[in-house]
Structure 1
């Protein structure tokens, strides 16, 4: 595939995917100020270039929550993956497995936990969980993740209520699309996508339909999801989830040092510094701006990951230099998926890997585990 940057893949995806689904990936809440800051703030962080350093035998291999990874990058949980490309989450999981990195499946995925497990031959992957009011459904979802050999549970804490995303409202976003004049015109301009979708039976949220009480079709799904996100979620709920799960748990959505300290007290294995890709609280800091204070607050008490705005291997290096032990890519893998299915995701990972490797070398390092503040220029983002 002829693409050299993640933005090349973004442009290809924009031309192929109907606007409602492309905009779902490529947008934030309200004014989108935090969404833009997530990407733009990385540019303020400058590297310290070193020369005459032996750059042979470089390695990006490391560990995330004790699991071997070929580079400190995981695919983030994102909804509607299977609407970017048929069987999207299954293809993303295959690409991640081939690349030797974790794939995280969203609760709001088009392909189910079971679909993804079958696609990768029962290999481990991570599952992201939203806390909902129907605790029986959540308990069953956790049990299904166990049965599918998921090796970590990623509990998202920042979606107790939905941020208002104007593009989604204007586009009439739904899965599958509701046909009206607006959505018909969007679909009519993407005939290749429409034809490809005829080849799969996966067109709705398969982790939910047929599993949640009285949810058997699109109309019942819409009403169920509208009332199920639990605004009463609190730290005590994590103990119940942790006991039911019994395995490694990652808490996603931490943006404040005090919340990071609370996360440590739960006994979680890692936290993800994340503002939900700028899709929740507009006007919040970027994830990369919030990262250093959180790393300082928790030290080595808990593993710190981050997501939000990663568009290159250089961005990965910047996050690692500021203390993250791993990063997650959301939009980057969705752009690859929309651009070219599994090959597109593989291309996105290849781009990030190559950029990370070369940047590490120019910074005078041969082992990614040695990246740190010493690799940054003094006028880095504070």
Structure 2
């Protein structure tokens, strides 16, 4: 028989320890977010559908994005044992400088559309965390203003080659003058991908009011208040801003760019030179032979060619073949610190977060970006401790298995002969 007694008042009071109430609603909602997925749900509640879907969506059936995230979910870790991990060093060296964490902020276009602080929030948060920030050619904050927001941190610039070459040349010169240390030459956007969510939402830059957008705005007055009472939303580097995303990209980008353009831009740039948007081992080898400082395995977050290769799947082979000659980075689909650790273990020197950063921005502006970096940093450190490694350099392919759902099927000899004939 269990012996029972009346509860003592002092013991009951010990149990009744209520959490201190936080009067600031922004701090409350950000503190409630424990994962990037939590921040995504907050962002969706707080952001009009067209702006949220522009961030959240991908091209056509969105298979590339779905597969990229699935690839990270299909990771099996192999931890060691009996290793002192009381202290873990998450810092790394990348492109001639240091980063406190093995990830930085990827270039994102139209960023002030998501939340009015835009790139300023991202650059400031990156600087405070000691990680790099990358500004897009299609950014809504100028090169000089990003440099002012992150004066002591590392700023990188992502370049699209325009039909009007003088625009691209001018941006290269401005970024160098502003102290940006790395240029990302982007090669996966000869034309715009078919982003069907944007088409269905009637999405344009700047946003246009319609019955649907007005109805969608009713429960989100804060977004429209910010939009209507701050500086006009426009590209910092382009003069023409009216139209759909596809129209803007197709009118501005040059589908004729080639290796001669790469060489010309590279000759102008005094810092580190990276090619972003590499999607095959063969192209990675060619770029390594040309001596570029780095490559980013990326399918543009699934926003260009649907059914494109999954960068994380390409990573081990590319890192093995060219990792000694050039610094291999990866993006697309990263939603957790575990994803980042798996990428580093399989050979990436660095990773880039795009949507994850924007979910934080939409959830709470600069403080939301701080929160997403904090969440990812905690996850990186915890994953490393559970793997029982104490530094980034100790992560190795032996720590990770990529479980396979989709397998490549090579053509049979008869099928190959038929194709060749």
TM-score, normalised relative to structure 2? 0.85
Alpha carbons of structure 1 residues 173 and 123: separation in structure 2 relative to 1, 3 Å:
same
1:299 aligns with 2:329: no
**SS of structure 2 residue aligned to 1:46:** strand
Partner of 2:175: 145
> Matches of 1:158 and 1:226 in 2, distance apart?
13
Bigger mean CA offset, 306-315 vs 54-63: 54-63
Aligned alpha-carbon RMSD (Å) = 2.0
Alignment of 1:49-88 (within 5 A): 49-88=79-118
Q: Secondary structure at the match of 1:198?
A: helix
1:194 to 195, 203, 224: 224
Contact 2:71 2:402 in 1 (8 A): no
Larger RCO: Structure 1 or Structure 2 (Cα < 8 Å, ≥ 6 residues apart)? Answer: 1
Deviation at 1:182, TM superposition (A): 3.1
Aligned to 1:42: 72
In the alignment, the residues of structure 1 paired with residue 264 and residue 346 of structure 2 have an alpha-carbon distance, to the nearest angstrom, of 33
Q: Is the alpha carbon distance of 1:67 and 1:379 closer, same or farther for their aligned partners in structure 2, counting shifts above 3 Å?
A: same
What's the counterpart of residue 208 of structure 2?
178
Structure 1 position 167 matched with structure 2 position 191: no
CA distance in 2, matches of 1:223, 1:26: 20
Which of 235, 238, 257 is 1:208 aligned to? 238
Relative to structure 1, is the Cα distance of residues 94 and 295 closer, same or farther in structure 2, using a 3 angstrom cutoff? same
CA contact (8 A) 1:86 1:199 kept: no
Report the Cα distance in structure 1 between the residues aligned to 2:186 and 2:344, rounded to whole angstroms.
22
Query: Partners in 1 of 2:214 and 2:151 — Cα distance?
Result: 37
Q: Please tell me whether the aligned partners of residues 239 and 266 of structure 1 are also in contact (alpha carbons under 8 angstroms).
A: no
Cα distance in 1 for partners of 2:103, 2:245 equals 33
Task: Judge which range, 262-271 or 68-77, deviates more.
Answer: 262-271
Q: Who is 2:262 aligned against?
A: 238
Task: Flag structure 2 segments of 5+ consecutive residues without an equivalent.
Answer: 1-29, 408-421
CA contact (8 A) 1:9 1:336 kept: yes
Partner of 2:280: 256
Matched, 1:111 2:141: yes
Query: Partners of 1:297 and 1:122 in 2: how far apart?
Result: 35
Please tell me whether the aligned partners of residues 183 and 272 of structure 2 are also in contact (alpha carbons under 8 angstroms).
yes
Q: Distance in 1 between matches of 2:245 and 2:210?
A: 19
Q: Distance in 1 between matches of 2:67 and 2:282?
A: 22
Give the aligned partner of residue 314 of structure 2.
290
More deviation, 314-323/46-55: 46-55
Question: How far off its partner does 1:197 sit?
Answer: 2.2
1:368 corresponding residue in structure 2: 392
Residue 146 of structure 1, CA deviation: 1.3
Deviation of 1:222 (Å): 8.8
Given the alignment of the two structures, is residue 317 of structure 1 paired with residue 341 of structure 2, yes or no? yes
Q: 1:164 to 1:378 in 2, by over 3 A?
A: closer
Q: Judging changes above 3 Å, is the alpha-carbon distance between structure 1 residues 124 and 359 closer, same or farther for their aligned structure 2 residues?
A: closer
User: Cα 1:36–1:93, aligned 2, differ >3 Å: closer, same or farther?
Assistant: same
Q: Is the 8 A contact 1:250 1:270 kept in 2?
A: yes
- CA drift of 1:376 comes to 2.1
SS at match of 1:251: strand
Decide whether the 8 Å contact of 2:329 with 2:351 is kept in 1: yes
Give the alignment partner of residue 290 of structure 2, picking from 266, 271, 286.
266
C-alpha distance in 2 between matches for 1:322 and 1:165: 31
Give the stretch that moved more between structures: 325-334 or 264-273.
Answer: 264-273
State how far apart, in whole Å, the 1-side matches of 2:125 and 2:391 are: 24
**SS where residue 127 of structure 1 aligns?**
strand
Which residue in the other structure is 1:212 paired with? Answer: none
- 1:169 and 1:56 map into 2 onto residues whose CA distance is 51
Secondary structure of the corresponding residue to residue 352 of structure 1: helix
Q: Which residue of 1 aligns with 2:362?
A: 338
* Structure 1 segments unaligned to the other structure (5+ residues): 210-214
**Residues of 2 paired with 1:130 and 1:326: CA distance?**
22
